[in-house]
Amino acid sequence: AIIKNKNLHSPMYFFVCSLAVADMLVSVSNAWETIIIYLLNNRQLVVEEHFIRQMDNVFDSMICISVVASMCSLLAIAVDRYVTIFYALRYHNIMTVRRAGCIIGGIWTFCTGCGIVFIIYSETTPVVICLVSMFFAMLLIMASLYSHMFMLARSHVKRIAALPGYNSIHQRASMKGAITLTILLGIFIVCWAPFFLHLILMISCPRNLYCVCFMSHFNMYLILIMCNAVIDPLIYAFRSQEMRKTFKEIICCYSLRNACTNICALTGKY
């Protein structure tokens, strides 16, 4: 949708695209891991134990890359919305497409580095602590940004309303974008929090009866993570009129193309 519609070629939607790629990565990695575990358990796939460990490390690394990319993309979106609301008249000078591209490149370079480190030191406790700490640090920064954003937004709107070149429609759109990203952040916390709580319990109380009971539902937490990847595109579609319109065009074009193909196939027979 973002590639097709030029109206969506803006920094915020590029960050949204980065978030969507991160969501897709975690879904694909979890799906492949589930399929391989099923094949191994049913003895339809026979491989050496060393190779199984390596595959497990790769899948864990992909999840690590995905969660860090999701957190960084959400943080980038939060900063973008903050600049849009509080520096509306200078937004296009501050947040250029080139700068957004550099930020996204930096995010994925950092995430790939985290994934490599996770593979090398996956057995060590400090890596897990670092990942959990990063999760809570990102949440704290984003919560601070959004709190400041919504507390001061009204007074800021009144202050710049009198300035020449002020666009109230643009300001309302910016606030709607901020609310949308707040919803995305809430969904992210709900879907990922059990996974990070699992990591915390794994370090702090691995033998406690209640901790063991909670950790026994790890597959359910992975399903929640996959649900996050499904829910996010629905939020984009329902909250953004431009994206909703583009999704409809893509679906209609796809349906029309299939109909034309079927008609041509039937015509060819006769």
Contact 142, 78 (CB under 8 A): yes
Give the residue-averaged pLDDT of 107-111: 91
232 or 77, greater pLDDT: 77
User: Which residues contact residue 154 at a Cβ distance below 8 angstroms, ignoring those fewer than 6 apart?
Assistant: none
Q: Mean pLDDT of all residues in the chain?
A: 74
Which of 131-135, 209-213, 246-250 shows the lowest per-residue confidence on average (mean pLDDT)? 246-250
- The model's pTM is 0.71
Contact 92, 52 (CB under 8 A): no
pLDDT-derived band of residue 107, with 50, 70 and 90 as boundaries? very high
CA distance 191 to 222: 9
CA distance 248 to 82: 30
pLDDT-derived band of residue 123, with 50, 70 and 90 as boundaries? low
Contact 105, 61 (CB under 8 A): no
What pLDDT does residue 261 have? Answer: 54
Contact 29, 66 (CB under 8 A): yes
Give the residue-averaged pLDDT of 79-103: 83
pLDDT-derived band of residue 12, with 50, 70 and 90 as boundaries? confident
- 55-73 tens-digit pLDDT: 777 877 888 888 888 888 8
CA distance 3 to 24: 17
The answer on pLDDT for 178 being more than 80 is no
What pLDDT does residue 241 have? Answer: 63
CA distance 55 to 52: 5
Query: Tokens for 142?
Result: 């984003």
148 or 197, greater pLDDT: 197
Contact 68, 109 (CB under 8 A): no
Helices first, then strands: H and E counts in the chain: 9, 0
User: Which residues contact residue 133 at a Cβ distance below 8 angstroms, ignoring those fewer than 6 apart?
Assistant: none
- 213-258 tens-digit pLDDT: 888 887 788 788 777 777 776 776 666 665 666 656 656 665 555 5
Q: Say how many Å lie between the first and final Cα of the chain, rounded.
A: 38
Secondary structure class of 87 (helix, strand, coil): coil
pLDDT-derived band of residue 266, with 50, 70 and 90 as boundaries? very low
